[in-house]
């Protein structure tokens, strides 16, 4: 049976191990995560959307510098389907539909 000193020693050891795990994760994030993007820079490349076609292929839209590109990603490689199109303008859902100004 565990007595109080052994239980306290186990709890302290567990706390130290958990603290070391958190410390290593924090250091790794600072070294790896901060070095990829750079200091004060915004990302230029983002994945906008993916659409699976079948089990092995999909379409992907990526955005680079406010220009979107449509890619086909398949098992034999990737192909640029369309490039250089601007992202669609979004209309807020709460906005009323535009009024028809034509006269009958």
Q: What is the pLDDT confidence band of residue 31, given thresholds at 50, 70 and 90? A: confident
* DSSP H or E segment with residue 69: strand 67-74
Residue 103 lies in a domain: no
Residue 61 lies in a domain: yes
State whether 29 and 47 are in the same domain: no
Identify the CA nearest to 85 among candidates 103, 71, 99. Answer: 71
State whether 29 and 2 are in the same domain: yes
14-24: b (≥16 Cβ within 10 Å) or e: eeeeeeeeeee
Please give the pLDDT value at position 101.
Answer: 60
Residue 95 lies in a domain: no
Residue 99 lies in a domain: no
Residue 96 lies in a domain: no
Give pLDDT tens digits for 35-94. Answer: 555 555 677 888 999 999 998 999 999 998 888 999 999 999 989 998 887 777 775 566
Residue 101 lies in a domain: no
Determine the average pLDDT of the residues in 16-25: 96
The domain total for the chain is 2
Q: Which domain holds residue 26?
A: 1-41
State whether 47 and 80 are in the same domain: yes
């Amino acid at each position: 049976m565990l007595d109080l000193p052994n239980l306290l020693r186990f709890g302290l050891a567990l706390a130290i191990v958990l603290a070391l795990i958190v410390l290593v994760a924090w250091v790794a994030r600072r070294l790896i995560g901060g070095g990829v993007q750079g200091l004060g820079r915004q990302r230029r490349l983002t994945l906008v959307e993916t659409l699976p076609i079948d089990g092995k292929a999909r379409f992907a839209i990526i955005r680079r510098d406010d220009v979107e590109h449509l890619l086909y990603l398949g098992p034999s490689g990737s192909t640029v389907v369309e490039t250089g199109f601007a992202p669609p303008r979004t209309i807020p859902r709460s906005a009323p539909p535009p009024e028809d100004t034509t006269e009958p």
